[in-house]
Chain A
Amino acid sequence: MATVFADKFDDGTAQPATEAMAGSVAGKVAAPAETGGSAVSPLLGFMAKWGQTIVAPVLGILAFLGLWAVLAPQVDTSLGALPGPVEVAEQGVSLFGEWQAARETEAQFYADQEARNAQAMAAGNTAAVRDFEYAGPPTFLDQIFTSLKTVALGFGLATLVAVPLGLAAGLSPLFNAAINPLIQIMKPVSPLAWLPIVTMVISATISSVDPILPKAFVISALVVMLCSLWPTLINTAVGTASIDKDLLNVGRVLKLGWFAKLRRLVLPASLPYIFTGMRLSLGVGWMVLIAAEMLAQNPGLGKFVWDEFQNGSSQSLARIMFAVVVIGFIGFGLDRIMMSLQALVSKNHQI
């Protein structure tokens, strides 16, 4: 049965495999260094290992920065020369400064409001009391949080939909056969194609004047969900389908109920697959998010990049590049978090 699924979900099986390989590649590369070192002397071995884990990456990064610093000024755009690492770092600092300034303005706003309110209360004019929220422009840090919230919602929804569907598909070959073609067709669709449809549907369904969640936020989150659904769904199905038959037979002998079977047998066995899928989903979701925010006007990092592009000032490119670096680091961080979760649930299992 597992082979049948392996055929159908060809890339599904490939994905956990690549994950496993990615891990083992690192392990294997490290291994020869270790053995080679120990053959000569322990000290050399230690240095070789150290070189592998610290020196080589640092050298790689330095080389990249050096090349960037040398090559970037050669490219002359209509917004001036392409900024190098120093200019980008400067913009990072200035974005932080803007955030601090915005915090001060916000504090000032609330202080002024309170003073006015106190005055109005003293004068007995309760109608003039205002309780406004500060309506300043979002800072870069606000935009990072908006992006994280959006991707969290989209990813959460995707997981809620994908895991049950994947379990069902893994347990029932019939159901799997029914949804497999749909999955294969929907999976490669770009977020940009989903966006107009989602926008129209959301505009039609959220009609309250003051919705709890802003429409742009919901639109972006749903697009993230639609695009990040598939890896989790496929991996869950594969994981569920590849449960050892003996285990299921034992369950049958013990006359386990449907729910008990799911909880005791199916879920534990497929959990590593599910988490592998979720890790891939989150990666896809984060990538999709930036594009979705650019178009849906959700005030996150995607909108920051687009607005800076539209500004076309002499600092715009450096600010966009700083955003790119931040997007990369956050994506890396999210992946690490998922990886440790994945390692945690796979402790007792081999994929």
Chain B
Amino acid sequence: MFGCDGKNTGLKRRTVVVAMLASVALVGCGGGGEATSEAVAATSVDGQPEKPNLKLGFIKLTDMAPLAIAKEKGFFAEEGLNVTLEPQANWKVLLDGVIGGQLDGAHMLAGQPIAATIGYGTKADLIAPLSLDLNGNAITLSNKVWSQIRADLPTEGGKIRHPISAAALKPVVDSYAQQGKPFNMGMVFPVSTHNYELRYWLAAGGLNPGYYTDGDVSGTVDADVKLSVTPPPQMPATLEAGTIEGYCVGEPWNQAAVQKGIGVPVITDDEIWHDNPEKVFSIRKDFAEQNPATTAAMLRAIIKAQQWLDADNGANRAEAVKILAQPNYVGADEEVIAASMTGKFTFEKGDTRDAKGFNIFFDKYAGYPYYSDAIWYLTQMRRWGQIPQDHPDSWYIEKAKSVYRPDLYLAAANKLVADGVIPAASIPQTDGFRGEQSGFIDNISFDGSQPNAYLAKFPIGLKQGQRVAASGVTGQ
């Protein structure tokens, strides 16, 4: 937003408010600004970092691993960066920290920079130049609900057949409704992957997770299952207290429920959408423009860490678990973290299954920020009413391109290829769209270039022309 054209250089951030107002006023020249910043990036990404002392935020989840590894294995230092990693209390605090400048960047929910850019919640220009990982979440139910559905689940070779459909939950939810009790489940943030995954799973099983009215954040209009926000580390405690009957969260908080014997993970997000993109590394757009070399150096360090995490078929994972178990990172017990980081996933005590792809950081082009991934999040925001009205396909694509920045990723990754650090084959040859994707639990395929056509395919979800009011869905 700065250096967008000559006139704005006098608009140095006097206050955050002024900057935000400016960003609103200057949306119109966004395209031109990007072009210049790309030109700047190309010339100076390999130089000395402009801002070598950095503070990055994270939430205590195992998918922050690339940041911890980049720090502990010296990848940040190799790039001439002196990085402090600071755990944040919750996603909102983390987001405000990045927007307000206390944090230079952060481990973020993919939906957060997208929502900030389209102005859902706090409006700010954030970008996602790198995707941190694929998969990594799961849905856990309380012991009580699990005991009610377990007997009716189909089995296969003595074990319960996976994936478990949310349809199995329907009788329990119906019985709650008959008793006049709400069936509550937890997720971590209104624009979190977890929210969309939990909603996707419930809707695929015929349960309506509720719509968002314009401007509200509870999202419970017409809901069969009421979702509410709880910070990840508090999930097990909230489940145990009986406030919620289940939750969708990242690791180690599903394994923590198993370990403590208070809940049973029923499905991983890999089973809801095979190899779904998860957290991103996000920074402010103006930070990237003012510090192109720092941005590239950060990205290079994180890409190296991602490669380290997936190297030699996961040989380094045990060491990663030790690092993550330090109290200043994830801090949970080693065996809890190891339960999901080392290629296995425990559903019940005694039911541990192979889950090779549960946490992917580098393989399968995990780091590349595909436009189509951003568009998937945008379609889900529209599906559940967080985007209140219809937009043409071009709007989705334009928004995705302003947040996801493969150009920055490639600038960093190409240097690593040139230096022989990562293989050239680890960078995809793509226009930023993954093409037609299958692998969803409900077998509905997704094509990032046609978001509106995709939205029309869902039995549960807002359709063209529909809006949500407090009384229910209106429109065709």
Contacts and interface: CB of A to CB of B under 8 A. Distances in A.
Partners in one complex: yes
A336 interface: no
A308 interface: yes
A216 B14 contact: no
B53 A135 contact: yes
A209 B17 CA distance: 15
Interface in A265-319: 294-295, 297, 299, 306-316, 319
Given A204-B16, A207-B13, A214-B102, A308 B86 contact: no
A209 B89 contact: no
A258 interface: no
Contact of A313 (B85, B234, B325): B325
A124 interface: no
Contacts of A315: 327
A132 interface: yes
A203 B16 contact: yes
Nearest to A215: B102
A311 B240 contact: no
A41 to B, nearest CB: 57
B260 interface: yes
A297 B86 contact: yes
Interface in B91-127: 93, 96-97, 100-102
Contacts of A314: 333
A351 B366 CA distance: 72
B327 A209 contact: no
B29 interface: no
B236 A78 contact: yes
A7 interface: no
Q: Chain B, interface size: which category?
A: 35 or more
Nearest to B329: A137
Interface size class of A (residues with CB under 8 A): 35 or more
A310 B100 CA distance: 24
Given A310-B331, A311-B327, A133 B82 contact: yes
A130 interface: yes
Interface string B254-275: 0010001010000000000000
Given A78-B262, A135-B53, A312 B100 contact: no
A83 to B, nearest CB: 15
Given A130-B80, A215-B102, A310 B60 contact: yes
B100 A297 contact: no
A348 interface: no
B317 to A, nearest CB: 19
B413 to A, nearest CB: 24
Nearest to B326: A137
Contacts of B86: 297, 299
Contact of A308 (B13, B330, B331): B331
A79 B234 CA distance: 12
A39 B95 CA distance: 72
Contacts of B83: 135
A209 B101 contact: yes
Contact of B15 (A130, A137, A205, A312): A205
Contacts of A313: 325, 327, 331-333, 336
B36 interface: no
Contacts of A294: 89
A95 B84 CA distance: 20
B155 interface: no
B331 A307 contact: yes
A319 B231 CA distance: 21
Interface string B330-345: 1111001000000000
A127 interface: yes
Name the residue among A79, A204, A295, A311 with the largest chain B CB count within 10 angstroms.
A311
Given A78-B260, A215-B100, 6 more contacts: A207-B101, A297-B93, A307-B60, A313-B325, A313-B333, A315-B327
Q: Which 5 A-B pairs have the closest CB atoms?
A: A311-B331, A137-B328, A310-B233, A132-B82, A135-B84
Interface of B: 13-17, 19, 48, 51-53, 60, 80, 82-89, 93, 96-97, 100-102, 231, 233-234, 236-237, 240, 256, 260, 262, 325, 327-328, 330-333, 336
Interface of A: 78-79, 98, 127, 130, 132-133, 135-137, 199, 203-205, 207, 209, 214-216, 294-295, 297, 299, 306-316, 319
5 contacts: A137-B85, A294-B89, A297-B88, A307-B328, A312-B237
